[in-house]
A = this chain, B = another copy of it.
Amino acid sequence: MEINLKDIHSPADIKGLDLEHLHLLSGELRAALMRKLAAHGGHVGPNLGVVEATVALHYVFDAPSDKIVFDVSHQSYVHKMLTGRIEAFIDPAKYDDVTGYTCPGESDYDLFEVGHTSTSISLATGLAKARDLKGGKENVIAFIGDASLGGGMALEALNYAPELGSNIIIILNDNQMSIAENHGELYNHLAELRKTNGTSPNNIFKALGYEYIYVGEGNDLRALIHAYKAAKDQPRAVLVHINTMKGMGLPCAESNQEAFHFAAPFDLKTGAPANPLDAESYDDMFARKMLEHTRADKNVAVMTAGTPGAFGLTPAVRDAMGSQYIDTGIAEQDCVTMAAGLAKGGVRPVMGVVATFIQRAYDQLSHDVAINNLPAVFVEFYGSLFGMNDMTHLGFFDIAMISNIPNIRMLAPATAEEYIAMLDYAIGQTDHPVVIRTPGGAVSHQSTPVNTDFTRYDIVEEGADVALIAEGPMLGIARKAAALLRDKGVTPTVINPRILSQVDTECLDTLKGYRHVITVEDGIIDGGFGQKVASYLAPTGIRVTCLGLKKEFEDRYKVADLLRDNSLTPEQIAELAI
C-alpha cells in the first residue's frame, strides 16, 4: 500500500491506517509541507515539528465532534492537510487557497480565527463548559506551545480549567523555543520535567490539579497515540506534555530555529532566501540606533515581548546589548509594566513591539504607564495599512486604541530622518510616555531639517483654500495628490501632523478660512487623529473630511485595493479636494 496525499479528504481516511502507514503518511506530509514552505514561505519550524503530533491527533480523536483549538494556529498546516484542504498544500496553483491560521470559513474543523498566542485554553474552557451545560460528551482539546503557555491569559486559563471538573485536554507542544529563545523560569521547570522523563516530584501541572502525561518522544507516532488514548474521554483536566523538535526534518530549520520560525521562500537545500532583500529598512535602522543608545548610556534598556526578530534585534545585536537587552517572553503585559518600573527606577526603557500585539497590553499602557506618566518609550512596527494583512494581525487599529489614552504622546514619523529624530527625542525626554509608529512601507527620506518640536504640525507645502493633513506614510500620497491639484490650478497646503494624540490648535486655527480640510491616515477613521481635527474644526462650520480606513477586519487584502476602496489614492484625494 502506498500513501497518496490526494486521497486524504478527511480524518476518516487515516483512521484505518496501521502504524507503518501512518509513518509513511507523516513522511509524505512533511515532504509536501517542505516543498510548499520553500516555494511559498510560511511558518516553517512550528509546522514541521508537529507533523506526527497532528497525525496522531486526528487518528485518536474524532474531529469535528471532538473539538481541537490550536493556539496561535500557525502550526495548523498539517491539520488543514488532513481535513479536506490537501490541495492547497500539494498544488502550487492553490497554495493561497488557505490562510496561514485556522479559519472557520474554510472548514468546520476550524473553530476560531486565531493568530495571537495564549488563547487556546480559555477558548477550550468555554467550549468545554458549553458542552457540560448542554450535556454533551465530546473531547475538547487545546494544542499549545511552550512559549505561548507563558502568556498571561494562558496561565489564567491553566489555573481555571481544572475547576470545570470535566473533560479538557491540554497538549503542551514543548519544542524548547519561542520565536527566539524562551525566557522565564517556567522553561527551566519544563527542562526538569523532560530530564526526569516527567517524573519530577515537583510538577507545576500536578500542583494545579492536572492529570499529567509525559511523552519524551513527541515526534514518535506510537508514543503519541498511546498518550492521546490515555487522555481521551477522561472526565477531568489532563495535560499531555510532548517533547518535539521544531523544524524537524529540514536541516536548515533544525539548526537555525529562530530564522526558520517563519520564513519567506527559500532554497530547500541551503536555506538561503530565494529573494534576498538588500533594501534599507526601518527595522535595521531601529536596531542600529538602539545599539548606539545602549552603548552611549548604560541606563537605556531595549525590551521585547518575544519578537526581537521583527525589528532587527538579531542574536548578534542582542549579545552586543548584553544586560541592557530584556526579553520577557511572549508576555506583553509584563513587558509594558516592567517598562513602567524601569522608568520609575531611572532607566530609559525602549520596547519594540508589533502593532497587533501592543493591544494585548492596553491596561498596562493606561493604568501602569500613562496614569503614572512615566517616560517609557514604545516603538511600534507594522502599525499601518502597509503592514501585516492577516485578519488576526492587522496593524491599523493602533491609533484609535493608543491616541485616546491621556498623557501618551503618539508620534508618526513620515521619513527616516524624522524617525531617528523622534527616537532621540523620546529617549532624551522624561516628561511623558511616547509611542512611535515606525512608518509602514518603503523607507523615505527628507532633505530638509527635522523640526524637533513634536507637539507642532509641520507645514510641508504652503498653499491656500484646501489643506491636506496626512500622517506617516500617507504624507507621500498626499503630496502626490497635491501635485495633481496644482496641475489643476489649486495649490493646497500640505501638513505633516507628526503627533496623533493631540491637535496643534495654533496650526489648525490658521486653516479656519479654508474651503476644505482633508485628513489622511493609515488607520481606521473612527477614533483616529482625523476625527480629533474634525471635532476641533467642526464647531466653526468649516468642511472637514476624514480619510482613512473603514472600521472593519480586513483579511489578506492587497494594499492597492484597500487604498482604492477607501478613497486613499492620490487621484481620489485630489478629486475629493476640489
Binding site for B on A (CB under 8 A): 69, 104, 111-116, 119, 122-134, 150-153, 155-157, 159-160, 162-163, 183-186, 188-189, 192, 201-204, 206-209, 298-299, 301, 323-324, 326, 328-329, 331, 333-334, 337-347, 349, 359-360, 362-364, 366-368, 370-372, 391-392, 397, 400-401, 403-407, 524-527, 530-532, 534-535, 537-546, 551-553
**Judging by beta carbons under 8 Å apart, are B527 and A538 in contact?**
no
The 8 closest A-B pairs by CB, nearest first: A126-B341, A152-B152, A130-B345, A122-B337, A362-B362, A404-B527, A155-B155, A156-B334
Is B209 touching A188 in the complex (CB atoms < 8 A)?
A: yes
Contact across chains for B134 and A347 when beta carbons are under 8 A apart: yes
Q: Quick check: B116 and A363 within 8 Å, CB to CB?
A: yes
B406 near A552 with CB under 8 A, answer yes
Q: Which residues of B contact A544 (CB under 8 A)?
A: 534-535, 538-539
28 A-B pairs in the complex with CB atoms less than 8 angstroms apart: A112-B372, A119-B364, A122-B337, A122-B340, A126-B339, A126-B343, A126-B344, A129-B342, A130-B342, A130-B346, A132-B323, A133-B323, A133-B324, A152-B152, A152-B333, A157-B337, A159-B185, A160-B185, A160-B338, A185-B209, A359-B367, A400-B527, A403-B526, A404-B527, A406-B552, A406-B553, A531-B532, A539-B543
A540 to chain B, nearest CB (A): 7
Which residue of A123, A153, A342 has the most chain B CB atoms within 10 A of its CB atom? A153
CB <8 Å contact, B344 and A122: no
- Name the one of B153, B163, B405 contacting A364, with C-beta atoms under 8 angstroms: B153
Whether A340 lies near B134 (C-beta < 8 A) is no
Considering the complex, give the chain B residue whose CB is closest to the CB of A532.
B526
Closest-by-CB residue of B relative to A324 is B133
Give the contacting residue for A123; candidates B113, B157, B341; CB below 8 A: B341
List B contacts of A345 (CB < 8 A).
126-127, 129-131, 134
User: Which single member of B113, B159, B338 contacts A125 (CB below 8 Å)?
Assistant: B338
Q: Are A116 and B367 in contact (CB under 8 A)?
A: yes
Q: Are B127 and A344 in contact (CB under 8 A)?
A: yes
> Roughly how many angstroms separate A420 CA and B477 CA in the complex, as a whole number?
49
Q: Nearest-CB distance from A128 to chain B (Å)?
A: 8
From B115, B153, B333, B341, give the contact of A334 (CB < 8 A): B153
Please determine whether B104 and A341 come into contact, CB atoms closer than 8 angstroms.
no
Contact A331 B129 (CB under 8 A): no
Residues of chain B lying within 8 A (CB to CB) of residue A114: 367-368
Q: Is the CB of B329 within 8 A of A159?
A: yes
In contact, A538 and B534 (Cβ under 8 angstroms): yes
The answer to whether B344 touches A371 (Cβ under 8 A) is: no
Nearest residue (CB) in B for A542 is: B541
Which residue of B has the minimal Cβ distance to A187?
B159
Distance, CA A114 to CA B347, complexed state (A): 20
Tell me the smallest distance from the CB of A575 to a CB of chain B, in Å: 14
Q: How far is it, in angstroms, between the C-alpha of A127 and the C-alpha of B340 when the chains are bound?
A: 9
Please report the C-alpha to C-alpha distance between residue A112 and residue B208 in the assembled complex, in whole angstroms.
32
Q: Are A328 and B526 in contact (CB under 8 A)?
A: no
A407: contacting residue among B366, B372, B531, B553, CB under 8 A: B553
CB distance from A323 to the nearest CB of B (A): 7
With a CB–CB cut-off of 8 A, which chain B residues contact A128? 341
The chain B residue sitting closest to A200, CB to CB, is B207
A156-B333 in contact (CB<8A): yes
Q: Which residues in B have their C-beta under 8 angstroms from that of A207?
A: 189, 192, 202-204, 207
Cβ–Cβ < 8 Å partners of A129 in chain B: 301, 326, 338, 341-342, 345, 347
B150 touching A113 by the CB < 8 A rule? no
- A112 in contact with B340 (CB, 8 Å): yes
A408 to chain B: closest residue by CB: B551
Known: A152-B153, A342-B126, A546-B538. A553 touches B203 (CB 8 A): no
Q: How far is the CA of A150 from the CA of B323 in the complex (A)?
A: 29
Question: Of all chain B residues, which has the CB nearest A186?
Answer: B159
B residues within 8 A CB of A532? 526, 531
| A530: chain B residues within 8 A (beta carbon) | 535
Residue of B nearest to A339 (CB): B126
State in angstroms the CA–CA spacing of A264 and B129 once bound together. 36
* Distance between A574 CB and nearest chain B CB, rounded to angstroms: 16
Measured between beta carbons, the chain B residues less than 8 angstroms from A552 are 406
Q: Is the CB of B113 within 8 A of A371?
A: yes
Are B162 and A156 closer than 8 Å at their CB atoms?
Answer: no
Taken together as a complex, chains A and B put the C-alpha atoms of A349 and B123 apart, in Å, by 13
**A189 CA to B206 CA in the complex, in Å?**
9
Q: Across the interface, which residues of B come within 8 angstroms of A342, CB to CB?
A: 126-127, 129-130
A196 to chain B, nearest CB (A): 12
How far, in Å, is A467 (CB) from chain B's closest CB? Answer: 14
A69 CA / B340 CA spacing, docked (Å): 12
Q: How far is the CB of A131 from chain B (nearest CB, A)?
A: 6
- Judging by beta carbons under 8 Å apart, are B150 and A163 in contact? no
CB A546 to nearest CB in B, in angstroms, measures 4
Determine whether the beta carbon of B328 is less than 8 Å from that of A156. yes
Q: Which residue of B lies closest to A305 (CB)?
A: B156
CA A531 to CA B129, docked complex, whole Å: 40
> Can you name the residue of chain B whose Cβ is closest to the Cβ of A540?
B543
Q: Are A185 and B163 in contact (CB-based, < 8 A)?
A: yes
